[in-house]
Structure 1
Amino acid sequence: MRFWAYVGFECVYLGSSPLSSSFPFLDRSAVFFSCRLLFGWTCAAWLSGALRAERLMKRLVAVLLLLAVAGAVDGDERSDGYCKHTSGSTPRPHSVTITEFGAVGDGVTLNTVAFQNAVFYVRSFADKGGAQLYVPKGRWLTGSFDLTSHLTLFLDKDAVIIGSQDASQWPPAEPLPSYGRGIDLPVLIILSTMLESICGTGNNGAIDGQGSVWWEWFHSHTLNYSRPHLLELVSSSDIVVSNLTFLNPPAWSIHPVYSSNVTIQNIIIHASSDSPYTDGIVPDSCSNFHIEDCSISVGHDAIVLKSGWDNYGIAFGKPSSNIQINNVHLQSSLGSALAFGSEMSGGISDVSVEHLYVRNSHTGINFKTTRGRGGYIEDIVISDVKMENVHEAIRFTGYCGAHPDDQYDPDVVPVVKRVTIKDVIGSNISIAGVFSGIDHDPFTAICLANISLPITSDLSDPWTCSNVAGFSDSVFPQPCLDLSLNSSLFCFSLETFRAIAEI
């Protein structure tokens, strides 16, 4: 009897104690399954007297390890627990499935408690290398839930996390300090606050906010609070969001705020073309931010950089800086494909955008601000842009945006300078550009180079300019005289940005 107890103890020991942690590639379920197979073989061998106890246990442990390793090599259909594209990443050593916490993927059962309990459980692995929460195929209805540090949330192919349309499932959160109460008590679907090392990824699984009911409430003015975002990352760091689809956001899809070292890659975002103020990716007072290989089609701004609102953003004082955007396909029926502001009171600087593809949009590239904002937008370079079916290719305006309250100072004006846009090819463009700086506070060092925007409208002047100064070279149609300075030495360049990014 002691021998059988020893065999059972070894199986438990291998699956859950120090040896398992020494071999992080071992999956506990594979170990226990191997034990069940070997237990039958051991019984037969022992009863036949073919093996002595010591030899039997040595062979048992050796074969058990081989089977477990083979299982690890063959691969777990639940993924490897880490974001593969991240250089130097290592797998999470622990993994759980949402069904282990009672979740049902029928699209009807509410799984809020299951997600909350799963995240609470995963939190216990934070000091052990973290863990993966695996969401398999199914439609997983839920209300709001938080993430935790050192977590990989993995959505498998045909897995869809569905946001409940029951407003009671979205408890209000405190307003962001850089916005005051202007964006009043937002509610959120998936929230990360003051966390680190988070990865949301999958085999193109989806997060569907079921935003249509929220859009109806917005139009009918029956909302008590702001609409939910799909994913908000607050004061967090070392974040990766990749290989996921975001659908039908009630408001914004991905809103990282006060966060750093963020990568968003291989993401699809889609909302109805007439959905109100549905933004795609919104880096807000963030630094060291990278967006690449994404496709976004929304009702308002596809990618928009922000940094706080009026005096609240000025007081909070956290800019958006060192941001790289590369190879993105953007569509915005009612807003802008790529936008800066209008909430930019903390400042936006050191931004590089390359390989930008814009189609079927109202505005291609939009810099927007107004009196009372303060802050700055500076040191921006946008290059290699292709536009098709765009009403207005480029816009700079100092007369855009409301205010959170009447506490703002109208004498505080924003600074917009050192913005370079180059290597742009457009087709079916109605308006080449509108540049409207602020009276007595012009936008300066605006540089345009190697731009071709054939105009299809009957406008006599495809460019409109006021309170702006800058440089242009090889631009068609011929731009305003305000942009005809004969020196480009003050223009912000891609080389300058790269030098800054390497610091």
Structure 2
Amino acid sequence: MTVLRLVTLSSRTATILLSPPGALYRLPAPVRWRLSRDGVIYYEGTADTAAVFVEDLLPGHDYLFDSDLGDLEFRTPPCAGLVDARDHGIDPAAADNAAALAAAVAATPAGGTLMIPRGRHVTGPVFLRPGITFWLPEGAELAGKADRTGWPQLPARDGDGRVIGTWEGLPETCFASVLTGIDCAGLKITGRGILDGGGDRGDWWSWPKETRDGARRPRTLFLAHSPDVEISGITVRNSPSWTVHPFCCDRLTAAAMFIENPHDSPNTDGLDPESCEDVTLAGLHFSVGDDCIAVKAGKRAPGRTDHLAPTRRMTVTQCHMERGHGAVVLGSEMSGEITDVTISSCSFDRTDRGLRIKTRRGRGGKVARITLDHVVMTDVPTPFAGNAFYFCDPDGHDDWVQTRTPAPVDDTTPVIEDIAFRDVTATGVKLAVVALLGLPESPIRGITLERVRASFDPDAEPAVPLMATGVAPACRETIRADFAEVTGAVEIFETTKDPEPC
């Protein structure tokens, strides 16, 4: 493993990932570091977590990052021009800064930087442009306004038939996001500032599954058809629905971010890469109201499959997932297939499930070649849940979906195979270390467990580990596998006290 790695770089910011042996999101020991330019120390500090994010850099300059772990040199790219949003009328006292921000975005040249000033600025949706750096520095905040009157909407498809508005895997009209980027190749969104979606203001959280005024709820940051995007440093919070949603964005990198939503906020997933290839997620911290990372690939519907595209080659490294429904979730919208995903050197803390795979009859598609390597889970009731009977959608409880009688196999039959758990430690397991429920006509295959260790919560009480009909409660089980094959074992180590009977 490379000990020091430059993960993101703009003309004003950089993210360096520290990966000494044994490191997760948090480092095994503090690491001292300095950043210098022309022999003069620019910044210095001590890192306790994996991602070191620095800003206020100068374009076109050489920098040296030296640390207890070694040295790393890099050069910031040039900047075609710095635009200050204040010069276009942004004002902390304004009720809506959307028009001022639109003027500032329009004035920023390709290869240039738009800087948001310090202070809290209320705004409606802002539409970004390709090739610019959107810099939200420390002390700056963009906050979605509470009143959605006149809020722009994204159509389900544009004039060329491409999907633009998307909701839970299907083309649908959606409200635009506070930051929206369509066809924004090479965009960089960076800085230590805050992007607040405004979900805790207005009525967004009171209609999680409805359509109002002809549209679905917005994300906080939505990107579509935008390759080579970098997002780094920012805190994104209070999302009206999914927080950060890249759709058809290849070669995406997100690093050193904080994604935060109240734990009771509805459907506020943290980051949902959908139909994206070659994705890197590094040094992220999640605490959300739904799944932390939820990987998607579109949802098949009768007569509607042209919107499906795969998510492939995704790396999640040195991230911390806290309190979400699932830490890393694949599906349930996965009809375009999700393959070649590696989750490594991560920590999961009090999420309902660790790695969660969910699908159902009618989806089709494949989830395959998934690896969980060097992961520590604390108080996760079910570390690995694989469920091919997930009862989502209005017909999710229908007999044809939930019957355990084998159904005919066709292109609507989902496949789950080749999932590896390596060097995983889970403490405080309540329900089952591994809970798998495959389809009788398409069993879950190729599940391997290598050096998997777990301890049970002595105070655990029975509960259902999988969201499907007819599933019996579990309590301190090691492996439950129905219509699934598992190779390997789980080593159970001592709990701190004698367990109460389940």
Aligned residue identity for 2:103:
N
Q: Does 1:201 align with 2:202?
A: no
For the 8 Å contact 1:144–1:169, the answer to whether it is kept is no
For the 8 Å contact 1:82–1:199, the answer to whether it is kept is no
TM-fit CA distance, 1:168: 2.0
Alignment of 1:163-312 (within 5 A): 163-175=144-156, 177=163, 182=170, 184-187=172-175, 188-202=177-191, 204-212=192-200, 213-218=202-207, 223-224=212-213, 225-311=215-301
- Equivalent residue of 1:136, what SS? coil
1:149 to 1:219, Cα distance in 2 relative to 1, 3 A: closer
What is residue 414 of structure 1 aligned with on the other side? Answer: 414
Distance in 1 between residues matched to 2:92 and 2:308, nearest whole Å: 43
- Structure 1's unaligned 5+ residue stretches are 1-24, 26-69, 478-503
TM-fit CA distance, 1:433: 2.2
Q: Does 1:318 align with 2:304?
A: no
What is residue 433 of structure 1 aligned with on the other side? Answer: 434
Greater shift after overlay, 223-232 or 337-346? 223-232
1:220 to 1:319, Cα distance in 2 relative to 1, 3 A: closer
TM-fit CA distance, 1:245: 0.4
1:313 to 1:295, Cα distance in 2 relative to 1, 3 A: farther
Distance in 2 between residues matched to 1:313 and 1:378, nearest whole Å: 23
What is residue 14 of structure 1 aligned with on the other side? Answer: none
Distance in 2 between residues matched to 1:364 and 1:295, nearest whole Å: 15
Distance in 2 between residues matched to 1:301 and 1:287, nearest whole Å: 20
TM-fit CA distance, 1:405: 9.0
1:350 to 1:216, Cα distance in 2 relative to 1, 3 A: closer
1:443 to 1:86, Cα distance in 2 relative to 1, 3 A: farther
Q: Deviations over 1:101-149 (max 9, x none)?
A: 011023x431000111111122xx22xxx21000111111110121101
For the 8 Å contact 2:228–2:250, the answer to whether it is kept is yes
What is residue 321 of structure 2 aligned with on the other side? Answer: 330
Aligned residue identity for 1:99:
R
TM-fit CA distance, 1:314: 4.1
Distance in 1 between residues matched to 2:234 and 2:73, nearest whole Å: 15
What is residue 93 of structure 1 aligned with on the other side? Answer: 80
For the 8 Å contact 1:285–1:308, the answer to whether it is kept is yes
Total equivalences in the alignment? 397
Q: Deviations over 1:329-352 (max 9, x none)?
A: 00234x211100000011111111
For the 8 Å contact 1:309–1:373, the answer to whether it is kept is yes
TM-fit CA distance, 1:241: 0.3
- Equivalent residue of 1:237, what SS? coil
What is residue 493 of structure 1 aligned with on the other side? Answer: none
Q: Does 1:134 align with 2:122?
A: no
For the 8 Å contact 1:182–1:404, the answer to whether it is kept is no
What is residue 352 of structure 1 aligned with on the other side? Answer: 342
Distance in 1 between residues matched to 2:420 and 2:60, nearest whole Å: 37
For the 8 Å contact 2:133–2:190, the answer to whether it is kept is yes
- Structure 2's unaligned 5+ residue stretches are 1-10, 12-37, 44-54, 64-71, 158-162, 402-409, 462-474, 494-502
Distance in 2 between residues matched to 1:257 and 1:222, nearest whole Å: 21
Alignment of 1:56-67 (within 5 A): none
Aligned residue identity for 1:415:
V
1:82 to 1:415, Cα distance in 2 relative to 1, 3 A: farther
What is residue 127 of structure 2 aligned with on the other side? Answer: 146
More helix by share: 1
TM-fit CA distance, 1:317: 3.9
Alignment of 1:45-84 (within 5 A): 80=58
Aligned residue identity for 1:149:
P
Greater shift after overlay, 421-430 or 308-317? 308-317
Distance in 1 between residues matched to 2:95 and 2:336, nearest whole Å: 43
TM-fit CA distance, 1:221: 5.5
For the 8 Å contact 2:234–2:256, the answer to whether it is kept is yes
TM-fit CA distance, 1:78: 6.1
What is residue 107 of structure 2 aligned with on the other side? Answer: 121
Distance in 1 between residues matched to 2:425 and 2:233, nearest whole Å: 29
More strand by share: 2
Aligned residue identity for 1:446:
I
TM-fit CA distance, 1:81: 6.0
For the 8 Å contact 1:141–1:161, the answer to whether it is kept is yes
Distance in 1 between residues matched to 2:374 and 2:482, nearest whole Å: 26
TM-fit CA distance, 1:444: 0.5
Q: Deviations over 1:46-67 (max 9, x none)?
A: xxxxxxxxxxxxxxxxxxxxxx
TM-fit CA distance, 1:219: 5.8
Distance in 1 between residues matched to 2:143 and 2:168, nearest whole Å: 30
1:460 to 1:301, Cα distance in 2 relative to 1, 3 A: closer
Q: Does 1:388 align with 2:378?
A: yes
For the 8 Å contact 2:169–2:297, the answer to whether it is kept is no
For the 8 Å contact 1:371–1:413, the answer to whether it is kept is yes
Alignment of 1:410-489 (within 5 A): 412-431=412-431, 432-456=433-457, 457=460, 459=475, 461-473=477-489, 475-476=491-492
Pair member with larger Rg: 1
